[in-house]
Structure 1
Amino acid sequence: MAEQLTFPLHLRSAQGREDFFISPANALAVTTLDSPETWPLGRMILIGPEGAGKTHLAAIWADEHEAAILPAHALNEEMAPALVAQGAAVIEDAPAIAESEAGQRALFHLHNLMQAEGGRMLLTAQTPPRDWGMSLPDLISRMEATATVRITPPDDALLAAVLVKLFADRQLTVPPTLIPWLVTRMDRSLATARRLVAALDRQALAQRRAITQRLAAEVLDSLD
């Protein structure tokens, strides 16, 4: 298996396909990433809000296609040949490429080499390319011509499944009734789910309390 570039995590976070919960919010994205042979010119941009599961889904794709994973801000032109030789690459947080002209030139170079060699490239972003703030005209035209697929805001089933996963990642035991109670009261965002579970973990530890509906209500009020 090819070596992947990743960030260290402070918590165990399950990132396998069996840990990814499919719902109407992400089903099209899953289907699209499962068929890279259909991607126009071998490129795809995965778009979704913060915490929507882009990194998880990209990690699954990278594992199954032996792709390198690289944050956009770390990309430089010298890396392009090695990434192309690997045959597939994931560029995470692609809008960060707009922070420097050198980064934009690096992505432009990588894009052209991947296309010439028949490699595949997956990029992740919260917004479409027109909103990335790029200044290199050739890169703008190529990114805006790249196919996109979206993860939409979570439905109840997905939000509940993610909460269960987040509690499990932290090895926290909660009453089964707490999950649907939280789903009906919290902001409909997976990023909020992450902050909520983290805050519940901190408060339960600091106050030496079990995670109950009462504690959850207090934490929700503090988040608001």
Structure 2
Amino acid sequence: MNTPSLPKQFALDIGHTPKASLENYLPGSDRALISTLQTLCDSWKKSPPKEINNPLNDRWMYWSGPEGSGRTHLLQAMTNAAEFAGLKSFSLTPTEPITWVRLEEQITALAENDKASVITVDDVDRLDDRLAGALFRILNTVQASKNIHIFMAGNAAPANLGLREDLRTRLGWGLIFQTQLLDDDEKIQALEQAAKARGLVLSPEVAPWLLNRFYRDMPNLMALIDALDAYSLETKRAVTLPLVRELLQPK
């Protein structure tokens, strides 16, 4: 069976995607992780938002999981929560080394600041030797600080990453979680929740049909919800199965 794909004009023109948050994340089996993160976000809403003498385990977290299990969404959610609380934040990925340089230039000042700050690191498993060294130095500063929070994610537990041993050990010093893929019922719930957040109402048969005929991973399914949002607005039609088929038919 050929899997339909998104027309390019909708795959590349997504303008109504809600920002990632803990509220629009369907936890599935990840409730302990979400509860821990929510407690931290709630603490940032206090005025002034300070984290004096905060234990390392309250500020240093790493989670792993397969592609599509929501690990990047959660990192983005923590960055957005930090920005909403007025905290300085840095989002690090292997593809943007300049951001690492900028953080290292400022991290000593962040460590000495009474106000909390937030660092996220995505795709830890893809770090090259240079960025692995940078992360090791960053973690040493975070450990010695009182107010820097760091959240990291990769495709495997720290001990199973193909990184230098001292970095793998450091990664395991904080709280460790694992994100899980959603089952089909949870995916349907997540799709309906995402549609509702965009002001869409899906016909009851739409979500199950998508799981059977479209890509089954959540990033592609969420991209399709965005495309349906745009197509529904363009055509001024409700999101029914005929509309979905029309969107996905080859052009």
TM-score clears 0.5: yes
Q: Give, in angstroms, the shift of residue 45 of structure 1.
A: 0.6
Distance 1:196 1:17, change over 3 A: closer
Is 1:147 the counterpart of 2:147? The answer is no
Greater CA drift, 149-158 or 212-221: 212-221
The match for 1:30 is 34
| SS state at 2:182 partner | coil
AA aligned to 1:24 is G
Aligned partners of 2:91 and 2:121 also within 8 Å:
yes
Where do 4+ consecutive residues of structure 1 move more than 6 Å? 201-210, 218-222
Q: Distance in 2 between matches of 1:12 and 1:206?
A: 13
Secondary structure of 1:44 counterpart:
strand
Q: Normalized against structure 2, the TM-score is what? A: 0.63
Residue 177 of structure 2 aligns to a residue in which SS? strand
1:113 aligned residue: 141
Structure 1 SS opposite 2:35: helix
CA RMSD of aligned residues (A): 3.9
Q: Tell me, yes or no, if structure 1 residue 87 matches structure 2 residue 87.
A: no
Change (3 A) 1:17 1:130: same
Aligned length: 212
Secondary structure of the equivalent of 2:15? Answer: coil
**C-alpha contact (below 8 Å) 2:159/2:169 kept by paired residues:** no
Q: TM-score, normalised by structure 1?
A: 0.69
1:143 Cα offset (Å): 1.8
Q: Confirm or deny: 8 A CA contact 1:20 1:56 kept in the other structure.
A: no
Report sequence identity in percent: 23
The structure in which a higher percent of residues are helix is 1
Counterparts of 1:150 and 1:83 in 2: how far apart (Å)?
28
User: Which whole-Å CA distance do the structure 1 matches of 2:61 and 2:214 have between them?
Assistant: 32
Match of 1:42 among 47, 59, 84: 59
Instruction: Supply the distance in 1 between the matched residues of 2:22 and 2:158 (Cα, whole angstroms).
Output: 31
Structure 2: state its 5+ residue gaps: 1-12, 41-53
Which residue in 1 is equivalent to 2:189?
Answer: 161
Secondary structure at 1:120 match in 2: strand
* Contiguous gaps of at least 5 residues in structure 1: 1-8
Q: Which amino acid aligns with 1:70?
A: S
Greater relative CO (CA pairs within 8 A, separation 6+): 2
The answer to whether the 8 A contact 1:75-1:106 is kept is yes
Alpha-carbon offset, residue 81 of structure 1: 2.2
Structure 1 segment 164-179 matched on structure 2, within 5 A: 164-167=192-195, 174-179=202-207
1:98-128 CA deviation, whole Å, 9 max, x = no partner? 2241x22221121111111123311122332
